[in-house]
Amino acid sequence: MVTRSPDPGDKRNTRVELTTAGRELFDRVTPAHLSIEDRLLTALDPEQREALESILRRLLVSFEGSVPDDEFPRLGMVLAPAHIAVQMRRAVGLPEFTGLLVRGVEPGSRAESAGIRTGDVLLRAGDSDLRSIAALHAALGAAAEAGALHISLVRGVDAQHDVTLDVGPHIADTGSAPTSNISGTHLI
């Protein structure tokens, strides 16, 4: 279900990734897990659920969104996590895809230059499935030397698109690291 490999950035760490069979199992069990989670939370009133959600989101964002300064170039997009992408596409009747939802793209940014648009769902970056912001950070780190990152995305009901994102150094970069806020979105 998983593969293990040395972390090229820090030999003290081991990278663990799901295999194709692991991803398929994850995709199969996720709906049942969400149903059980919903049933468990029925004991809370809406205000308590909102408070719990806020606290858990803050913990997740503080963990997942923390990246050392100057580690990545500014890409100019706001991303929502995979569970939000699934929920939002389901809510408007679009096919569900697990990936990072693009909530906004800054004019003139690297993301806009690559052809990424608001509403796109980023599925893969390089060889990595994008199920979390941490997966995007890992893909950016792996692509830094090449200066480009290949991204597969879905737009609306269209077939999958592939774009190339420039991740090389630019004089105009401010050195801004990805930031997060408690709503679960990340400015990359």
Predicted confidence pLDDT, tens digits, the chain (188 residues): 999 988 887 778 888 888 999 989 988 898 888 889 888 888 999 899 888 887 886 666 555 544 444 566 788 888 888 888 888 888 888 888 889 999 989 998 999 999 999 999 999 999 889 988 888 888 888 888 888 999 999 998 877 899 999 888 754 444 443 444 434 555 66
**Sequence spans of domains, the chain:** 71-187
Label each residue of 118-129 as H, E or C: CCCEEEEECCEE
Q: Which two tokens stand for residue 68?
A: 């050392």
Say whether domain 71-187 belongs to CATH 2.60.40.10: no
- Cβ atoms of 81 and 133 closer than 8 Å: yes
The three-point CA angle 162-167-170 to 5° equals 140
| Amino acid at residue number 184 | G
- Interior/surface letters 114-142, b for 16+ CB within 10 angstroms, e for the rest: bbbbebbbbbbbbebbbbbbebbbbbbbb
Q: In 25-131, which ranges are E strands?
A: 77-80, 100-105, 121-125, 128-129
Q: Which stretch of DSSP H or E encloses residue 39?
A: helix 20-41
